[in-house]
Protein backbone atom coordinates (compact mmCIF):
# COMPACT_ATOMS: atom_id res chain seq x y z
CA UNK A 1 0.00 0.00 0.00
CA UNK A 2 1.33 3.49 -0.76
CA UNK A 3 2.36 5.60 2.19
CA UNK A 4 -0.21 8.39 2.69
CA UNK A 5 2.17 10.83 4.38
CA UNK A 6 4.77 12.11 1.85
CA UNK A 7 6.58 14.27 4.44
CA UNK A 8 7.01 11.31 6.75
CA UNK A 9 8.30 9.18 3.87
CA UNK A 10 10.86 11.85 2.96
CA UNK A 11 11.94 12.27 6.58
CA UNK A 12 12.38 8.50 6.96
CA UNK A 13 14.47 8.21 3.81
CA UNK A 14 16.66 11.16 4.80
CA UNK A 15 17.21 9.77 8.30
CA UNK A 16 18.13 6.32 7.01
CA UNK A 17 20.48 7.81 4.43
CA UNK A 18 22.23 9.92 7.06
CA UNK A 19 22.62 6.91 9.34
CA UNK A 20 24.36 4.98 6.57
CA UNK A 21 26.70 7.66 5.22
CA UNK A 22 30.31 6.75 6.03
CA UNK A 23 31.06 10.41 6.83
CA UNK A 24 28.38 10.37 9.52
CA UNK A 25 29.85 7.45 11.39
CA UNK A 26 31.34 8.50 14.74
CA UNK A 27 33.14 5.20 15.22
CA UNK A 28 34.61 2.70 12.85
CA UNK A 29 32.52 -0.43 12.46
CA UNK A 30 34.01 -3.41 14.27
CA UNK A 31 35.65 -5.59 11.62
CA UNK A 32 34.38 -8.81 13.21
CA UNK A 33 30.83 -7.46 13.20
CA UNK A 34 31.21 -6.67 9.49
CA UNK A 35 32.42 -10.20 8.76
CA UNK A 36 29.51 -11.73 10.69
CA UNK A 37 27.04 -9.45 8.93
CA UNK A 38 28.32 -10.51 5.53
CA UNK A 39 27.28 -14.07 6.39
CA UNK A 40 23.60 -13.09 6.64
CA UNK A 41 21.03 -12.82 3.84
CA UNK A 42 17.68 -11.48 5.04
CA UNK A 43 14.15 -11.22 3.65
CA UNK A 44 11.91 -8.29 4.52
CA UNK A 45 8.54 -6.66 3.89
CA UNK A 46 7.99 -3.47 1.90
CA UNK A 47 8.12 -2.16 -1.65
CA UNK A 48 10.20 0.91 -0.76
CA UNK A 49 12.94 1.76 1.68
CA UNK A 50 10.63 4.10 3.60
CA UNK A 51 8.31 1.15 4.31
CA UNK A 52 11.10 -1.04 5.62
CA UNK A 53 13.31 0.77 8.15
CA UNK A 54 14.24 -2.56 9.75
CA UNK A 55 16.12 -3.85 6.69
CA UNK A 56 17.84 -0.48 6.34
CA UNK A 57 19.04 -0.81 9.94
CA UNK A 58 20.18 -4.36 9.24
CA UNK A 59 22.23 -3.09 6.30
CA UNK A 60 23.69 -0.05 8.08
CA UNK A 61 24.14 -1.28 11.64
CA UNK A 62 24.48 -5.04 11.26
CA UNK A 63 26.29 -4.92 7.88
CA UNK A 64 24.27 -7.79 6.38
CA UNK A 65 25.78 -9.05 3.15
CA UNK A 66 22.60 -9.77 1.23
CA UNK A 67 18.84 -9.51 0.92
CA UNK A 68 16.32 -11.82 -0.74
CA UNK A 69 13.19 -10.63 -2.54
CA UNK A 70 9.70 -12.16 -2.77
CA UNK A 71 6.50 -11.24 -4.58
CA UNK A 72 4.13 -12.91 -2.09
CA UNK A 73 4.07 -12.74 1.71
CA UNK A 74 3.33 -16.26 2.95
CA UNK A 75 2.77 -15.58 6.70
CA UNK A 76 0.13 -12.90 6.01
CA UNK A 77 -1.24 -14.58 2.84
CA UNK A 78 -0.76 -11.27 1.06
CA UNK A 79 0.23 -10.67 -2.58
CA UNK A 80 2.10 -7.57 -1.43
CA UNK A 81 5.73 -8.11 -0.45
CA UNK A 82 8.68 -6.53 -2.34
CA UNK A 83 7.58 -6.51 -5.97
CA UNK A 84 4.74 -4.57 -7.60
CA UNK A 85 6.17 -3.41 -10.97
CA UNK A 86 9.48 -3.19 -12.82
CA UNK A 87 9.79 0.53 -12.07
CA UNK A 88 9.13 0.06 -8.34
CA UNK A 89 11.49 -2.92 -8.06
CA UNK A 90 14.36 -1.12 -9.81
CA UNK A 91 13.97 1.81 -7.39
CA UNK A 92 13.90 -0.48 -4.36
CA UNK A 93 17.02 -2.42 -5.31
CA UNK A 94 18.95 0.76 -6.05
CA UNK A 95 17.87 2.25 -2.71
CA UNK A 96 19.00 -0.87 -0.88
CA UNK A 97 22.34 -1.02 -2.68
CA UNK A 98 23.10 2.63 -1.97
CA UNK A 99 22.48 2.02 1.74
CA UNK A 100 25.27 -0.52 2.01
CA UNK A 101 28.93 0.35 2.51
CA UNK A 102 29.84 -3.09 1.16
CA UNK A 103 28.00 -4.04 -2.06
CA UNK A 104 24.95 -6.19 -1.37
CA UNK A 105 24.05 -9.51 -2.84
CA UNK A 106 20.45 -8.90 -3.96
CA UNK A 107 18.90 -12.33 -4.48
CA UNK A 108 15.71 -13.79 -5.90
CA UNK A 109 14.28 -17.21 -6.82
CA UNK A 110 13.64 -16.69 -10.52
CA UNK A 111 13.77 -20.27 -11.76
CA UNK A 112 10.99 -19.90 -14.32
CA UNK A 113 7.65 -21.65 -14.55
CA UNK A 114 5.92 -22.04 -11.19
CA UNK A 115 8.86 -20.74 -9.13
CA UNK A 116 8.77 -17.27 -10.56
CA UNK A 117 8.86 -14.06 -8.49
CA UNK A 118 8.77 -11.72 -11.50
CA UNK A 119 5.36 -12.43 -12.97
CA UNK A 120 3.83 -11.17 -16.24
CA UNK A 121 0.83 -9.86 -14.28
CA UNK A 122 3.19 -7.29 -12.76
CA UNK A 123 4.82 -6.28 -16.01
CA UNK A 124 7.67 -8.79 -16.32
CA UNK A 125 8.37 -11.12 -19.29
CA UNK A 126 6.92 -14.65 -19.19
CA UNK A 127 9.30 -17.41 -18.12
CA UNK A 128 9.85 -21.07 -18.95
CA UNK A 129 10.17 -23.97 -16.51
CA UNK A 130 13.28 -26.11 -16.27
CA UNK A 131 11.14 -29.19 -16.94
CA UNK A 132 9.92 -27.77 -20.26
CA UNK A 133 13.44 -26.82 -21.30
CA UNK A 134 14.73 -30.25 -20.33
CA UNK A 135 12.09 -31.99 -22.44
CA UNK A 136 13.03 -29.81 -25.41
CA UNK A 137 16.72 -30.25 -24.59
CA UNK A 138 17.50 -27.65 -27.23
CA UNK A 139 20.54 -25.44 -26.59
CA UNK A 140 19.01 -22.44 -28.36
CA UNK A 141 15.82 -22.62 -26.28
CA UNK A 142 17.67 -22.96 -22.98
CA UNK A 143 20.08 -20.17 -23.82
CA UNK A 144 17.27 -17.84 -24.92
CA UNK A 145 15.31 -18.47 -21.71
CA UNK A 146 18.39 -17.92 -19.54
CA UNK A 147 19.40 -14.73 -21.36
CA UNK A 148 15.92 -13.28 -21.00
CA UNK A 149 15.95 -14.07 -17.27
CA UNK A 150 19.46 -12.66 -16.78
CA UNK A 151 18.71 -9.46 -18.66
CA UNK A 152 15.51 -8.94 -16.67
CA UNK A 153 17.39 -9.38 -13.40
CA UNK A 154 20.16 -7.06 -14.55
CA UNK A 155 17.64 -4.34 -15.44
CA UNK A 156 16.19 -4.71 -11.93
CA UNK A 157 19.66 -4.42 -10.32
CA UNK A 158 19.35 -7.97 -8.94
CA UNK A 159 22.74 -9.68 -9.02
CA UNK A 160 22.13 -13.17 -7.61
CA UNK A 161 19.64 -15.74 -8.85
CA UNK A 162 18.94 -18.68 -6.54
CA UNK A 163 18.85 -20.94 -9.59
CA UNK A 164 19.28 -23.15 -11.58
CA UNK A 165 18.04 -26.33 -9.90
CA UNK A 166 20.56 -29.18 -10.15
CA UNK A 167 18.21 -31.77 -8.62
CA UNK A 168 17.45 -34.84 -10.73
CA UNK A 169 13.77 -35.52 -11.34
CA UNK A 170 14.03 -38.93 -9.68
CA UNK A 171 10.51 -38.77 -8.26
CA UNK A 172 8.10 -36.97 -10.63
CA UNK A 173 5.53 -36.90 -7.80
CA UNK A 174 7.92 -35.00 -5.52
CA UNK A 175 5.71 -32.18 -4.18
CA UNK A 176 8.46 -29.55 -4.15
CA UNK A 177 10.61 -30.46 -7.19
CA UNK A 178 9.04 -32.81 -9.76
CA UNK A 179 5.43 -31.67 -9.45
CA UNK A 180 6.50 -28.02 -9.77
CA UNK A 181 8.55 -28.63 -12.93
CA UNK A 182 11.75 -27.36 -11.30
CA UNK A 183 14.14 -30.06 -12.55
CA UNK A 184 15.54 -30.24 -16.07
CA UNK A 185 15.47 -34.04 -16.15
CA UNK A 186 16.06 -37.34 -14.39
CA UNK A 187 19.08 -37.78 -16.68
CA UNK A 188 22.25 -36.20 -15.21
CA UNK A 189 23.62 -35.49 -18.71
CA UNK A 190 20.55 -33.41 -19.63
CA UNK A 191 20.70 -31.56 -16.31
CA UNK A 192 24.41 -30.81 -16.71
CA UNK A 193 24.16 -29.55 -20.29
CA UNK A 194 21.21 -27.28 -19.51
CA UNK A 195 22.89 -25.93 -16.38
CA UNK A 196 26.03 -25.15 -18.37
CA UNK A 197 23.99 -23.21 -20.93
CA UNK A 198 22.06 -21.37 -18.21
CA UNK A 199 25.13 -20.42 -16.19
CA UNK A 200 26.99 -19.24 -19.28
CA UNK A 201 24.12 -16.90 -20.18
CA UNK A 202 23.88 -15.59 -16.61
CA UNK A 203 27.60 -14.84 -16.48
CA UNK A 204 27.48 -12.94 -19.76
CA UNK A 205 25.06 -10.53 -18.08
CA UNK A 206 26.92 -10.40 -14.76
CA UNK A 207 24.33 -12.44 -12.85
CA UNK A 208 25.57 -14.88 -10.21
CA UNK A 209 23.94 -18.30 -10.37
CA UNK A 210 23.34 -20.73 -7.49
CA UNK A 211 23.12 -24.49 -7.95
CA UNK A 212 20.62 -26.15 -5.61
CA UNK A 213 19.76 -28.22 -3.55
CA UNK A 214 22.87 -30.13 -2.43
CA UNK A 215 23.22 -33.14 -2.09
CA UNK A 216 19.98 -33.68 -4.06
CA UNK A 217 16.30 -33.09 -3.34
CA UNK A 218 14.78 -34.75 -6.39
CA UNK A 219 13.90 -38.08 -4.79
CA UNK A 220 12.04 -36.71 -1.76
CA UNK A 221 8.39 -37.40 -1.06
CA UNK A 222 7.87 -34.47 1.32
CA UNK A 223 8.58 -30.73 1.32
CA UNK A 224 11.27 -29.27 3.62
CA UNK A 225 9.25 -26.04 3.81
CA UNK A 226 6.63 -27.99 5.73
CA UNK A 227 8.25 -30.94 7.46
CA UNK A 228 11.23 -33.13 8.21
CA UNK A 229 12.27 -34.79 4.95
CA UNK A 230 14.11 -38.12 4.96
CA UNK A 231 15.62 -39.25 1.63
CA UNK A 232 17.83 -42.02 3.03
CA UNK A 233 16.10 -44.81 1.12
CA UNK A 234 15.32 -42.90 -2.09
CA UNK A 235 18.60 -41.01 -2.69
CA UNK A 236 21.44 -42.44 -4.78
CA UNK A 237 24.98 -41.29 -5.63
CA UNK A 238 23.73 -40.42 -9.12
CA UNK A 239 22.21 -37.24 -7.64
CA UNK A 240 25.73 -35.93 -6.98
CA UNK A 241 26.68 -36.23 -10.65
CA UNK A 242 25.73 -32.68 -11.74
CA UNK A 243 27.81 -31.24 -8.89
CA UNK A 244 30.70 -33.63 -9.49
CA UNK A 245 30.95 -32.82 -13.21
CA UNK A 246 30.42 -29.06 -12.89
CA UNK A 247 32.86 -28.62 -10.00
CA UNK A 248 35.49 -30.69 -11.80
CA UNK A 249 35.03 -28.36 -14.79
CA UNK A 250 35.75 -25.31 -12.62
CA UNK A 251 32.38 -24.26 -11.18
CA UNK A 252 32.98 -21.98 -8.17
CA UNK A 253 29.83 -19.89 -7.85
CA UNK A 254 27.43 -20.52 -4.95
CA UNK A 255 25.80 -23.83 -4.10
CA UNK A 256 22.69 -23.95 -1.91
CA UNK A 257 22.13 -26.70 0.63
CA UNK A 258 19.05 -28.87 1.06
CA UNK A 259 17.41 -29.40 4.46
CA UNK A 260 16.95 -33.08 3.62
CA UNK A 261 18.05 -35.83 6.00
CA UNK A 262 20.19 -38.44 4.28
CA UNK A 263 21.29 -41.20 6.62
CA UNK A 264 23.60 -42.61 3.96
CA UNK A 265 25.74 -39.49 4.26
CA UNK A 266 25.10 -38.41 7.88
CA UNK A 267 23.14 -40.44 10.46
CA UNK A 268 22.57 -37.39 12.70
CA UNK A 269 21.87 -34.17 10.82
CA UNK A 270 20.13 -32.84 7.70
CA UNK A 271 22.48 -31.61 4.97
CA UNK A 272 22.40 -27.90 5.89
CA UNK A 273 23.64 -28.75 9.39
CA UNK A 274 25.94 -31.61 8.41
CA UNK A 275 29.72 -31.26 8.45
CA UNK A 276 29.96 -34.75 6.98
CA UNK A 277 27.95 -33.65 3.93
CA UNK A 278 29.11 -30.07 3.38
CA UNK A 279 32.73 -30.24 4.52
CA UNK A 280 33.22 -33.95 3.89
CA UNK A 281 31.41 -34.51 0.59
CA UNK A 282 30.98 -31.10 -1.06
CA UNK A 283 34.32 -29.56 -0.11
CA UNK A 284 36.40 -32.69 0.55
CA UNK A 285 35.22 -35.31 -1.92
CA UNK A 286 34.04 -32.98 -4.71
CA UNK A 287 36.59 -30.22 -4.16
CA UNK A 288 34.21 -27.25 -4.06
CA UNK A 289 35.91 -23.99 -2.99
CA UNK A 290 33.10 -21.46 -3.46
CA UNK A 291 30.34 -20.00 -1.29
CA UNK A 292 27.86 -22.37 0.36
CA UNK A 293 24.44 -20.80 0.94
CA UNK A 294 21.92 -22.40 3.27
CA UNK A 295 18.37 -22.93 2.16
CA UNK A 296 15.98 -20.83 4.26
CA UNK A 297 16.86 -21.42 7.91
CA UNK A 298 13.25 -20.68 8.92
CA UNK A 299 11.80 -23.61 6.94
CA UNK A 300 10.08 -26.14 9.15
CA UNK A 301 12.53 -28.99 8.45
CA UNK A 302 15.03 -26.94 10.48
CA UNK A 303 12.97 -24.53 12.60
CA UNK A 304 10.63 -27.18 14.03
CA UNK A 305 13.46 -29.49 15.08
CA UNK A 306 16.32 -27.22 16.18
CA UNK A 307 16.48 -24.05 18.22
CA UNK A 308 17.82 -20.98 16.41
CA UNK A 309 21.15 -21.00 18.26
CA UNK A 310 21.72 -24.71 17.66
CA UNK A 311 20.81 -24.42 13.98
CA UNK A 312 23.16 -21.47 13.43
CA UNK A 313 25.99 -23.19 15.30
CA UNK A 314 25.63 -26.46 13.39
CA UNK A 315 25.31 -24.72 10.01
CA UNK A 316 28.49 -22.69 10.55
CA UNK A 317 30.37 -25.73 11.87
CA UNK A 318 29.16 -27.69 8.84
CA UNK A 319 30.61 -25.11 6.45
CA UNK A 320 27.74 -22.80 5.48
CA UNK A 321 29.05 -19.37 4.44
CA UNK A 322 25.77 -17.47 4.00
CA UNK A 323 22.85 -18.12 6.36
CA UNK A 324 19.63 -17.29 4.54
CA UNK A 325 16.62 -16.15 6.57
CA UNK A 326 13.88 -15.57 4.01
CA UNK A 327 11.43 -14.25 6.62
CA UNK A 328 8.68 -15.71 4.47
CA UNK A 329 7.88 -19.00 6.18
CA UNK A 330 7.54 -17.10 9.42
CA UNK A 331 8.25 -13.40 9.84
CA UNK A 332 10.63 -11.99 12.44
CA UNK A 333 11.78 -8.41 11.86
CA UNK A 334 14.50 -8.96 14.49
CA UNK A 335 15.99 -12.07 12.88
CA UNK A 336 19.22 -10.37 11.76
CA UNK A 337 19.77 -8.94 15.26
CA UNK A 338 19.13 -12.35 16.82
CA UNK A 339 21.42 -14.19 14.41
CA UNK A 340 24.19 -11.62 14.87
CA UNK A 341 23.96 -11.86 18.66
CA UNK A 342 24.05 -15.66 18.51
CA UNK A 343 27.18 -15.72 16.33
CA UNK A 344 28.93 -13.23 18.64
CA UNK A 345 27.96 -15.42 21.60
CA UNK A 346 29.30 -18.57 19.92
CA UNK A 347 32.58 -16.77 19.33
CA UNK A 348 32.78 -15.53 22.93
CA UNK A 349 32.14 -19.06 24.20
CA UNK A 350 34.84 -20.34 21.80
CA UNK A 351 32.36 -22.76 20.24
CA UNK A 352 33.29 -21.37 16.83
CA UNK A 353 36.48 -19.49 15.99
CA UNK A 354 37.18 -16.16 14.35
CA UNK A 355 39.26 -18.06 11.80
CA UNK A 356 36.12 -19.94 10.77
CA UNK A 357 34.27 -16.61 10.28
CA UNK A 358 37.23 -15.29 8.27
CA UNK A 359 37.04 -18.21 5.84
CA UNK A 360 33.40 -17.48 5.01
CA UNK A 361 34.05 -13.75 4.78
CA UNK A 362 36.91 -14.30 2.34
CA UNK A 363 34.79 -16.54 0.10
CA UNK A 364 31.91 -14.04 0.10
CA UNK A 365 34.13 -11.07 -0.69
CA UNK A 366 35.94 -12.98 -3.44
CA UNK A 367 32.57 -13.72 -5.05
CA UNK A 368 31.47 -10.07 -4.87
CA UNK A 369 34.77 -8.86 -6.28
CA UNK A 370 34.83 -11.44 -9.07
CA UNK A 371 31.43 -10.22 -10.31
CA UNK A 372 32.38 -6.54 -9.84
CA UNK A 373 29.33 -5.87 -7.72
CA UNK A 374 29.20 -2.20 -6.82
CA UNK A 375 26.96 0.17 -4.90
CA UNK A 376 25.42 1.96 -7.91
Extents of the domains making up the chain: 46-370
Q: Is 225 a catalytic residue?
A: yes
Check if the beta carbon of residue 118 is closer than 8 Å to that of residue 152: yes
Q: What integer is the mean pLDDT of 177-192?
A: 98
Percentage of the chain beyond pLDDT 70 is 91
Residue 354 has pLDDT above 50, yes or no: yes
Residue 248 has pLDDT above 80, yes or no: yes
76-121, pLDDT tens digit by residue?
999 999 999 999 999 999 999 999 999 999 999 999 999 999 999 9
Q: What integer is the mean pLDDT of 59-74?
A: 97
Of the candidate ranges 266-280, 294-308, 345-359, the one whose mean pLDDT is the lowest? 294-308
> Which conformational region is residue 59 in: left (phi greater than 0), alpha (psi within -120 to 50 degrees), or beta?
alpha
Q: What integer is the mean pLDDT of 272-293?
A: 98
Pick from 247, 244, 272, 241: which is nearest to 258 by CA?
272
- The catalytically annotated residue of 109, 295, 296, 321 is 295
According to the model, what pLDDT value does residue 222 have?
Answer: 75
Give 257's strand partners: 214
According to the model, what pLDDT value does residue 163 have?
Answer: 98
Q: Is 132 a catalytic residue?
A: no
According to the model, what pLDDT value does residue 223 have?
Answer: 59
According to the model, what pLDDT value does residue 11 have?
Answer: 47
Q: What integer is the mean pLDDT of 146-152?
A: 98
Average pLDDT, the chain: 92
User: Does residue 261 or residue 374 have the better pLDDT?
Assistant: 261
According to the model, what pLDDT value does residue 227 have?
Answer: 66
- The catalytically annotated residue of 63, 157, 225, 259 is 225
Q: What integer is the mean pLDDT of 117-134?
A: 98
User: Does residue 38 or residue 374 have the better pLDDT?
Assistant: 38
Residue 54 has pLDDT above 60, yes or no: yes
According to the model, what pLDDT value does residue 27 have?
Answer: 39
According to the model, what pLDDT value does residue 26 have?
Answer: 30
Residue 144 has pLDDT above 50, yes or no: yes
> Which conformational region is residue 322 in: left (phi greater than 0), alpha (psi within -120 to 50 degrees), or beta?
beta
Q: What integer is the mean pLDDT of 223-235?
A: 81
Cβ neighbors of 243 (< 8 A, separation 6 or more) are: 166, 211, 214, 215, 255, 282, 286, 288
* DSSP label of 294: P
Residue 15 has pLDDT above 80, yes or no: no
Residue 14 has pLDDT above 50, yes or no: no
Q: What integer is the mean pLDDT of 46-57?
A: 94
Residue 6 has pLDDT above 50, yes or no: no
Residue 128 has pLDDT above 50, yes or no: yes
Percentage of the chain beyond pLDDT 90 is 86
Residue 328 has pLDDT above 70, yes or no: yes
Label residue 25 by pLDDT band (50, 70, 90). Answer: very low
According to the model, what pLDDT value does residue 28 have?
Answer: 43
**Is the sign of the CA dihedral 40, 44, 49, 54 positive or negative?**
negative
According to the model, what pLDDT value does residue 172 have?
Answer: 95
* DSSP label of 292: E
Question: What does residue 339 show for φ and ψ, rounded to 5 degrees?
Answer: -65, -40
According to the model, what pLDDT value does residue 224 have?
Answer: 66
Q: What is the dihedral of CA 263, 356, 345, 214, to 10 degrees?
A: -30
Q: Has domain 46-370 been given CATH number 3.40.50.12780?
A: no
Pick from 196, 225, 205, 101: which is nearest to 156 by CA?
205
Q: What integer is the mean pLDDT of 209-221?
A: 96
Q: What integer is the mean pLDDT of 241-269?
A: 97
Q: What integer is the mean pLDDT of 356-364?
A: 98
Amino acid sequence: MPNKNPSRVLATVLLLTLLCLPAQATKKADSLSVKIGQMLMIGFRGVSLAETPQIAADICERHIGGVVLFDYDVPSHSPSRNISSPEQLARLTQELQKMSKIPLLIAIDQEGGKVNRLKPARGFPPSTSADHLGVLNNPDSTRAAALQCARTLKAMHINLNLAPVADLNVNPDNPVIGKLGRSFSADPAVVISNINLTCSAYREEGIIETLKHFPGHGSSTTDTHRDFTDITESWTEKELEPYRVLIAAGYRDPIMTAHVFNGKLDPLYPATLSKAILDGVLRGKLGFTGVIVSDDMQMKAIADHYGLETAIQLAIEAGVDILLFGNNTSYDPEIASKATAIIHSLLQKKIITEERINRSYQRIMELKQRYHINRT
